[in-house]
Amino acid sequence: MEKEAGILRNDMKISLPFQKQAYALFFAIILSLVRGVTYSSEIGIAIEAPMAVLAFTFCADTYTQEIAGRRSEIWRLYPMKKKLNCIYRRIVIQEIFLLAVAAVSYGLFFLFQNPWPDGIRQSGIENELCQFFVYFAAIAVTIGFWGILSNFISCLFRNMWAGIGGCLMLWLITNSTIGYRYFGAWNLFSYTSRKLDHISDFSWICGKMVCICIGIMAVAALPKIIAKRG
């Protein structure tokens, strides 16, 4: 038990250094200050795409930090199972932290901007909580997808910047007028482009299912990538 706790603490120390925690929290504060919203239903729209950028920059070095830290020779000696468990643990640690940042960011919008209650639904704490839980589910998929994809591309090319660059290209395509127009409910940012005046329309879940499916495929392919790339 103590050994497992020590491994977890070591992974947290490596994957969540102070500078990463600091810029993630700074990001949340700045976003809630500069991104204007009028209604509380617009907060999720304001957060999702920027959080995707934070996720793929935050998780891109999950694997490559072993190379940057000059631990690659020792890393190669590890059994494959140990390598994969280490990568998976660090991804989970980082994405749990990012989920906490996303929740804090949501609250900061209320603190700094005090938006009006949802202009479509009747106001009330129950509606606001329901709206938050829907947001939290959507942002969890967004963070998970972009973090996993960034790490996958970085593992494939053994380069953190390849992971960031590849995700940035995909982000620019899908988070655009063209992406919203041609992909519709199947867009990776379907939650952002959903119609707020149709509260019973959950077709945006299709886009989140696409994220989940691609994420599962990336996780399934990771062992082969690690075996080939070291």
Average pLDDT over residues 132-154: 96
Q: What is the pLDDT of residue 80?
A: 82
Q: Which residue has the tokens 């202009």?
A: 119
Average pLDDT over residues 75-94: 85
Average pLDDT over residues 94-120: 90
Rounded to 10°, the helix 18-34/80-113 angle is 30
Average pLDDT over residues 54-70: 83
Q: What is the pLDDT of residue 21?
A: 94
Q: What is the pLDDT of residue 73?
A: 61
What pLDDT band is residue 9 in, cutting at 50, 70 and 90? Answer: confident
Mean pLDDT taken over the chain: 88
HEC secondary structure over the chain = CHHHHHHHHHHHHHHCCHHHHHHHHHHHHHHHHHCCCCEHHHHHHHHHHHHHHHHHHHCCCCCCHHHHCCCHHHHHHCCHHHHHHHHHHHHHHHHHHHHHHHHHHHHHHHHHHCCECCCCCCCCHHHHHHHHHHHHHHHHHHHHHHHHHHHHHHHHHCCHHHHHHHHHHHHHHHCCHHHHHHHHHHCCCCCCCCCCCCCCCCCCHHHHHHHHHHHHHHHHHHHHHHHHHC
Q: What percent of the chain has pLDDT over 90?
A: 61
